[in-house]
């Protein structure tokens, strides 16, 4: 585990710090993401589970030429304890967050 120092000089573990290219979502935004997952009948492609934890959002627009300029990839983690590859994501527009 890498140790980093926050701007205030206190020590934090790197695993607790959010990477600068990621956007943290509010609880309300996470609820909207889960609503979009259900609306699209999203399921885990590894185990078929339909329950997810919502993580951070990665901005895709502008960085990738084929993406809409307001596109984000939102991290999802399948909550099934039997899932062997629980990490996935959903592409959403900014208005859906």
| Residue number, 52 or 72, with CB nearest to Zn ion | 52
Per-position x/- string for 2-41, each x denoting binding to Zn ion as judged by CB under 5 A, each - no binding:
----------------------------------------
| Residue number, 48 or 62, with CB nearest to Zn ion | 48
Cα 49 to the chain's mean position, in Å? 17
The residues in 38-77 that bind Zn ion, with binding defined as CB under 5 A, are: 44, 46-47, 49
| Residue number, 69 or 79, with CB nearest to Zn ion | 79
| Residue number, 19 or 41, with CB nearest to Zn ion | 41
Beta strands in the chain (DSSP E): 3-5, 11-13, 22-23, 52-59, 71-78, 87-93
The whole-angstrom separation of Cα 35 and Cα 75 is 14
Neighbours of 30 (CB within 10 A): 18
- Pairing assessment for the beta strands 87-93 and 22-23 based on DSSP bridges: unpaired
In the complex, minimum distance from the CB of residue 22 to Zn ion, in angstroms, rounded to a whole number? 22
Query: Using CB under 5 A as the criterion, which residues of the chain lie in contact with Zn ion when the complex forms?
Result: 44, 46-47, 49, 78, 80, 83
């Amino acid at each position: 585990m890498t140790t980093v120092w926050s701007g205030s000089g206190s020590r934090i573990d790197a695993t607790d710090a959010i990477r600068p290219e990621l956007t943290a979502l509010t609880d309300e935004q996470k609820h909207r993401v889960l609503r979009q997952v259900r609306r699209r009948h999203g399921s885990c492609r590894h185990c078929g589970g339909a329950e997810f934890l919502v993580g951070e959002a990665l901005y895709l627009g502008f960085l990738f030429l084929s993406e809409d300029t307001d596109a984000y990839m939102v991290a999802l983690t399948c909550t099934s304890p039997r899932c062997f590859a629980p990490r996935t994501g959903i592409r959403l527009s900014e208005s859906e967050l």
